[in-house]
Amino acid sequence: MALVTPFKNKSVLILDDMPEARTSLRSQLGSLGCERIAVSATVKDALEQFKNERFDVILADYYLGGGTDGQQFLEYLRTRRIIGRGVLFVMVTAEKGYESVVTAAECLPDDYLLKPFTADVLKLRLERLLEKKLRLATIDKLQDKGDWAGVVKVCDDIIGARDRYLVDAMRIKGNALLASRRAEEALEFYRQMIARRPLPWARLGLSRALHQLGRDDECKESLAGLIRESPQLMAAYDLLGKVHVASGDPDAALGILDSACAIAPNSLARHRAVAAVAEDKGDFKRVEAALEKVVKKTRNTPLRETGDIARLGNAFTENGEPVKAVALIEEACKNFKSDAEDAHLAAVEAMAHQKAGNRDKAEAALTRALRTDTAHLPAGAAMAVAKACLTAGKRDEAHGILKTLVQTHPEAKALHDRVSTVLRAHGAGSVAEKLVAESIREIIQLNNEAVLKAKAGELTLAAEMLTRAAQRLPGNIQIVANAASALLFDVLTNGLDAEKVLQAQAFQKAVESRDPAYPKLAEIEDLLGRIRSTFIVGRK
């Protein structure tokens, strides 16, 4: 029989730790006419393959051995945007059960394939899934771009057609409404959905809408009911934990996250969430317990994160075991070159040495920590460096770092509280409120001035102001995006300036890498298009 198959041009990656299983699946795919097949035995090797190849289909076994599983692999790929929504991910497993314990909708595989299956079944299933990807391709692209209004529109068309993709389209539409914070509409949409069929994902969506609307009591009640009836739905625990934290009840949050960990003990994200809540609360015993699990599970795997080691080291120090912290960090730096340059680790090491009474070593570690421009660090790391500075009596440096941190996240109330707490803990309570308030005021004023200048036609000045601010606060996505826009407006009005366009494009790229769905990106792209058609028409 001649093979005319839809698989011929599809690039497939097989991930399975068992050699016979890889061979077997490969030959099944071969019998379907698949020609582009790559195989990997480990997550590490699979990630290497992504550097050279774009895959259309990934078939990953759930059990991978060595502390990793297919679900962790999928979460890694999706959260780091290594694969878009258009890539088909199928989890291969011997039984359904443990695997259905999943974090969030975006980390669900497209399908589960239960072993054993024949080549005929594999063919039918892949055909169907590829057909679905094709039908939802427009939506996938819009979702990857974060064009939520577009997503809702296309979903409505599919819902109107009432075909086999009806419920898929409804699920995506609900998520799009929530992602674009159209909470009232989302609430009504999920209410109608639930009246027809109270599916767990619809009930979760309803709870999300309630949370967005600030109706946290109703949200908690809704989630508690959902968890009772669908105890496998991990995302419900995650949301309930978040709502408890937001309403100032970290103990309740920890309780709920603990019960989730009991059901799905392998989920790294949840142990990390426990650590984050406990750290905020100052319960470093809990931080230590949660992160020891994470560090142990991820040791020598690509899922390892330096931040976990830094936080665990900090917990050791806080728990009165600075020597243990130093040993942990030294081991990390010995085995991973990049860790030796890591500012967060160096800051934690400095604090540990300080506590252990090794002042010279503390000084040396802090010097290493300060070698990095802290404006580029994630909030937790910047905070650690500031704390190390305060511990070593370097007040000015600490205040500078904290000011930048607040200005990078001028709307993150919880973070501002943490900044105040850190300052108070180091005897700087009097400056705490002032530092936070001043930093925020300064950033609002800067934005307002730039807008006024732009409105008054002083576009070049506005662009310069924002460019300087964006270079000082590279993590403030709003400022960086505004700087890009201002530069492009300036060019459009005052004439082509290659340097300004390049700078704007660099800002655009920075915004994209942080949040490809950032709303202002559409405006930037539009401005670039207008500049192209105004100045560069006909030039190639």
Partner 1 sequence: MEFADLAAITIHDVKNRLALLANRADAKGDAETVRGAMEAALTLTRLLVYYRSEKGQLQADIDAHVPADLLQELAAEAGRETSLALRFNAGDAPTLWFYDEALVRLVMRDALYNAMRHSRSAVTLQARLSGDCLEFAVLDDGPGFSGELLGQSLGMQALSREGTGLGLYLARRVARLHDSGGREGCVELRNEGGAVFCLRLPR
Applying CB under 8 A, the residues found at the interface with partner 1 are: 18, 20-21, 24-25, 27-28, 31, 63, 94-97, 100, 112, 114-121, 124-125, 128, 162-164, 166-168, 197, 199-201, 230-232
Q: What is the CA radius of gyration of the chain?
A: 26
Q: What are phi and psi of 290, to 5 degrees?
A: -70, -45
Query: Contact, 226 vs 216, CB < 8 A?
Result: no
Please enumerate in sequence order all residues whose Cβ is within 8 A of that of 265, keeping only pairs 6 or more positions apart, or say none: none
12 forms beta bridges with: 37, 57
Please identify which residue in the block is written with the tokens 């989890």: 91
163/221 with CB nearer partner 1: 163
515-538 burial, b if ≥16 CB within 10 A, otherwise e?
eebbebbeebeebbeebeeeeeee
Minimum separation from the CB atom of position 516 to partner 1 (A) = 28
Amino acid letter, residue 486: A
Minimum separation from the CB atom of position 472 to partner 1 (A) = 49
- Torsion of Cα atoms, 32 then 38 then 41 then 46, to 10°: -130
* 58 closest CA partner among 32, 39, 35, 34: 39
95/251 with CB nearer partner 1: 95
129/179 with CB nearer partner 1: 129
Angle between helices 234-246 and 268-281 (to 10 degrees): 10
Please state, in angstroms and rounded to a whole number, the distance separating the CA atoms of residues 267 and 265. Answer: 6
263/428 with CB nearer partner 1: 263
Amino acid letter, residue 50: F
Angle between helices 119-135 and 137-145 (to 10 degrees): 60
166/451 with CB nearer partner 1: 166
121/502 with CB nearer partner 1: 121
117/336 with CB nearer partner 1: 117
25/459 with CB nearer partner 1: 25
Minimum separation from the CB atom of position 20 to partner 1 (A) = 5
Token couple for 10: 């599809």
Minimum separation from the CB atom of position 296 to partner 1 (A) = 19
Minimum separation from the CB atom of position 252 to partner 1 (A) = 25
Minimum separation from the CB atom of position 121 to partner 1 (A) = 5
Please enumerate in sequence order all residues whose Cβ is within 8 A of that of 225, keeping only pairs 6 or more positions apart, or say none: 203
Spatial strand order of the sheet with 111-114 comes to 36-40, 11-15, 57-61, 88-93, 111-114
DSSP string, 49-78: HHHH---SEEEEESB-STT-BHHHHHHHHH
Minimum separation from the CB atom of position 124 to partner 1 (A) = 5
9-47 burial, b if ≥16 CB within 10 A, otherwise e?
ebbbbbbbbeeebbeebbebbeebbbebbbbbbbbeebb
Token couple for 185: 């509409």
233/303 with CB nearer partner 1: 233
Minimum separation from the CB atom of position 323 to partner 1 (A) = 35
Minimum separation from the CB atom of position 95 to partner 1 (A) = 6
196/539 with CB nearer partner 1: 196
Minimum separation from the CB atom of position 94 to partner 1 (A) = 4
